[in-house]
């Protein structure tokens, strides 16, 4: 129905704007993408763009917010093999949103999504690391967490760019295996 905020026409318009924007982001940095380019690629006028978004940064933030809304429910899991289950769900969701995920993870240090996701799992991950590595020192546990965050993001980003024929399950198993092997190696050297 006309005038309704989320009617089909509005949803379609937002979809083509986002697709055009993501396509442009594959070729250039966010700061280099113009509203004019988005409008030309989406075949809309600038007024239509500005009905929905303030600028390209606002558009990017809304796309990131939508992905964040999808990610947050997977963080509610609490149980054995938390890291494996969590990574499996996260990798699947990022793969389903491959284009935007690559962009967000490429600048992960400034990503609200990455900060929110890893902040949500930090306590549980530190607990897992404490058990896995038989470590009590919070400084060392924090270094494990930094390694986990940066290593996980880097590996997933590389996989999103070119999966090299590696499945979601293989990637999840490999990342989890690295942590388990590290803990076995650590315990063998005590």
Measured CA to CA in angstroms, residue 169 lies from 37, 85, 174 at distances of 38, 11, 8
Q: Where are the beta strands (DSSP E) in the chain?
A: none
- Percentage of the chain lying above the pLDDT 90 cut: 37
- What are the residue ranges spanned by the domains of the chain? 8-53, 64-188
pLDDT score for 185: 45
Measured CA to CA in angstroms, residue 146 lies from 115, 119, 120 at distances of 12, 11, 14
pLDDT score for 53: 97
Asked if 62 contacts 139 with a C-beta cutoff of 8 angstroms, the reply is no
Which DSSP state fits 79? S
Please give the average per-residue pLDDT across 107-132, as a whole number: 82
Q: How many residues does the chain have?
A: 190
User: pLDDT at residue 1 above 50?
Assistant: no
Mean pLDDT is lowest, of 36-50, 93-107, 111-125, 138-152, for 111-125
Tell me which architecture the domain covering 8-53 has in CATH.
Orthogonal Bundle (1.10)
CATH topology of domain 64-188: Tetracycline Repressor; domain 2 (1.10.357)
pLDDT score for 28: 87
Confidence of residue 178 (pLDDT cuts 50, 70, 90): confident
pLDDT digits (tens, 9 = 90+) for 31-66: 899 999 999 999 999 999 999 999 999 999 999 899
Asked if 154 contacts 109 with a C-beta cutoff of 8 angstroms, the reply is no
């Amino acid at each position: 129905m006309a005038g309704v905020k989320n009617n089909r026409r509005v949803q379609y318009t937002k979809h083509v704007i986002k697709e055009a924007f993501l396509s442009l982001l594959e070729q250039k940095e966010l700061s280099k993408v113009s509203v004019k380019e988005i409008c030309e690629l989406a075949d809309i006028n600038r007024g239509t763009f500005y009905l929905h978004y303030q600028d390209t940064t606002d558009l990017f933030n809304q796309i990131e917010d939508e992905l964040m809304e999808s990610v947050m429910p997977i963080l509610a899991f609490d149980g054995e093999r938390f890291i494996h289950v969590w990574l499996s769900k996260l990798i699947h969701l990022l793969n389903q949103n491959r284009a935007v995920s690559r962009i967000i993870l490429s600048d992960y240090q400034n990503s609200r999504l990455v900060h929110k996701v890893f902040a949500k799992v930090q306590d549980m991950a530190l607990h897992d690391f404490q058990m896995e590595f038989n470590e009590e020192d919070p400084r060392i546990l924090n270094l494990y967490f930094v390694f986990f965050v940066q290593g996980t993001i880097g590996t997933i980003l590389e996989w999103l760019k070119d999966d090299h024929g590696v499945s979601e399950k293989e990637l999840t198993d490999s990342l989890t295996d690295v942590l388990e092997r590290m803990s076995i190696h650590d315990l063998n050297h005590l």
